[in-house]
């Protein structure tokens, strides 16, 4: 049985220069495969809105959506450090709502930590959540919940002025009490600088490296999500093609009478055949 990692293990990994590897997962099978494979942690991302619920972005995702998927993931990966992603408007309105909603991820879905998007502007919420004894991870760079303000799903920190803002955000997030930080879609040069500057673990998705670990969205790396593939994704499988081909084969076999075969059938119990056919005759 794998031993679930803790915040201290992730700190130790940073000190030793050991990479933490994680993916997003949204359901029981995906989470159990991730745990069996030896993933260091799992994010139940609000990207579930796009990958499994078919929305165009993450804005419509609700607390109830997130909690329901977190519960399924926890059942699939009981021994993996799991992070619940706080959806849009679950933390922006007030520190009080942020703490209440962060707490629901722990109390109702047995998550180990929560993640929220934004820099200086959400530091009061990060502090309030951390002060309540909850592990909270920051997330800056390309923050999908504010992609409207960013002008789309665009890389961030590519010039000195915006990179400076991200460094200030990273420092403020650490100061507010976050236990870790995620950088999304920023230049590797900035990632390396922030990773060295911060004492908490700094992870990247589309942020190059080296940093303290890498995250990929399961739908992207498995080739499940077809709407678009960001430049930073490496596809390790093409599950969409495997599934579509399997469905096509099934349709063909049913229509041509190949499936179901005799080996897929439950037959009349041995010794009960005569009685069975006699019964059928009653209806003729
Ligand atoms: O929801 C998610 O999967 C995320 C990643 C994009 C980092 O927040």
> Does residue 205 line the site of ligand 1, with CB under 6 A?
yes
Total domains in the chain come to 2
Strand ranges in the chain using DSSP code E only, listed in sequence order: 20-24, 41-44, 81-85, 113-117, 136-141, 180-184, 202-205, 213-216
Q: How far is it, in rounded angstroms, from Cα 46 to Cα 42?
A: 13
Whether 195 has a pLDDT exceeding 90, the answer reads: yes
Closest ligand 1 atom to 182 CA: 7
Residue 107 lies in a domain: yes
Residues 253 and 211 in one domain: no
Count the neighbouring beta carbons within 10 Å of the beta carbon of residue 268.
Answer: 11
Q: Rounded to the nearest whole angstrom, what is the distance from the C-alpha of residue 212 to the centroid of ligand 1?
A: 17
Domain extent for 67:
7-237
Query: Within a domain: residue 250?
Result: yes
Residue 59, domain member (yes or no): yes
> For the chain, what percent of residues have pLDDT higher than 70?
100
Residues 172 and 39 in one domain: yes
184 is catalytic: yes
Other CB atoms within 10 A of residue 2 CB: 13
Tell whether 133 and 209 lie within a shared domain: yes
- Whether residue 174 is found in the same domain as residue 273: no
Q: Tell me, what's the pLDDT at 227?
A: 85
Phi, psi of 152 (to 5 degrees): 125, -175
How many angstroms separate the first and last alpha carbons of the chain?
Answer: 59
Domain CATH code at residue 28: 3.20.20.60
**Looking at the structure, do residues 246 and 226 belong to the same domain, yes or no?**
no
pTM strictly above 0.85: yes
* Percentage of the residues of the chain whose pLDDT score is greater than 90: 96
Nearest CA-CA partner of 82 in 95, 69, 93: 69
Looking at the structure, tell me whether residues 138 and 271 fall in a common domain. Answer: no
């Amino acid at each position: 049985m794998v031993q679930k990692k803790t915040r201290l293990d992730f700190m130790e990994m940073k000190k030793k220069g050991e990479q933490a590897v994680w993916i997003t997962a949204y359901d029981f099978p995906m989470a159990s495969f991730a745990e069996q494979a030896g993933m260091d942690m799992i994010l139940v991302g609000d990207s579930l809105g796009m990958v499994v619920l078919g929305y165009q972005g993450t804005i419509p995702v609700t607390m109830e959506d997130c909690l329901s998927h977190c519960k399924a993931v926890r059942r699939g990966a009981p021994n993996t450090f799991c992070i619940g992603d706080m959806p849009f408007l679950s933390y922006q309105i007030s520190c009080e709502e942020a703490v209440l909603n962060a707490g629901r991820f722990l109390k109702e879905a047995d998550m180990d930590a929560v993640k929220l998007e934004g820099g200086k502007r959400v530091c009061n919420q990060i502090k309030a959540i951390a002060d309540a004894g909850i592990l909270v991870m920051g997330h800056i760079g390309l923050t999908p919940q504010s992609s409207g303000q960013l002008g789309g799903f665009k890389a961030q920190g590519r010039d000195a002025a915006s990179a400076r803002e991200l460094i200030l955000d990273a420092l403020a997030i650490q100061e507010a009490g976050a236990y870790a930080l995620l950088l999304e879609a920023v230049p590797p040069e900035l990632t390396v600088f922030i990773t060295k500057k911060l004492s908490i673990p700094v992870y990247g998705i589309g942020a190059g490296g080296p940093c303290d670990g890498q995250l990929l969205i399961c739908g992207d790396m498995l080739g499940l999500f077809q709407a678009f593939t960001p430049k930073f994704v490496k596809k390790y499988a093409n599950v969409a093609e495997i599934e579509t081909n399997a469905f096509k084969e099934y349709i063909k076999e049913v229509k041509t009478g190949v499936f179901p075969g005799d080996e897929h059938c439950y037959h009349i119990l041995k010794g009960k055949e005569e009685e069975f056919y006699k019964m059928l005759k009653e209806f003729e």
